[in-house]
Structure formats: structure tokens, C-alpha cells
Amino acid sequence: MSFNLFSNLIILQWGKYIGNGNVGDTANVTVGTVTFPITFSNTCNVISIGTSATLNTSINSLSNTSFKIQVKNIHNSNVNSGTFYWISIGF
């Protein structure tokens, strides 16, 4: 994980998270919590996430210190939750 603090106080943070197991059905499953390298002073305004698995991915419980990765297996087959790449912008 890494970050960049710009002179106008905008913070850009990014990283990789490795999921913690298999997602075996179509239920929404929280696969992990990512803690930002540094705390956003006010809020994280934008976050984007991608994954190496064939899953619908969403963000849950976003705060100025962390967020949870939630997935839904759209193929109803047992797949590994995979590796997630994320980037966030805030101030």
C-alpha cells in the first residue's frame, strides 16, 4: 500500500488486498477490511476497486480510516475471492 499527499491537501492512496477464501454461492460476502496507509482528514471521496476473480465487487462501511470489500458470486460456483486492487482519493 502507498499514498501521495499533494500540496493542495488531496490524498491519493492505493494498494492490493488478497481475499481470504472461497465464495461459494450468490450471497453477498465480506472478504476483508482494508485500512488506509494514512487517515483521511475529512473523508474518502472516491474509491475504485478491481479484482482478478469473476465476482461483483462493492465497497461497504467506508470511513476515513478503512473500508470493507464485499463480493457477490454471479456464477454460483465455488471461486476464490481473489486479489483486489484499489485506489482512493480524498482530503
For residue 10, the enclosing domain spans: 2-90
Res 73: pLDDT: 66
Over residues 57-91, the pLDDT tens digits come to 888 889 999 998 887 766 655 566 678 899 999 99
Q: Which residue has the higher pLDDT, 15 or 27?
A: 15
Over residues 26-61, the pLDDT tens digits come to 566 777 889 999 999 988 889 998 876 667 788 888
Residues present in the chain in total: 91
Domain of residue 38, CATH code: 2.60.40.3940
Residue 39: how many CB atoms within 10 A of its CB? 14
Res 51: pLDDT: 78
Measure the CA–CA gap between 38 and 31, rounded to whole angstroms: 22
Q: How many domains does the chain have?
A: 1
- 43 close to 74: Cβ distance less than 8 angstroms: no
Residue 22 pLDDT > 80, yes or no? no
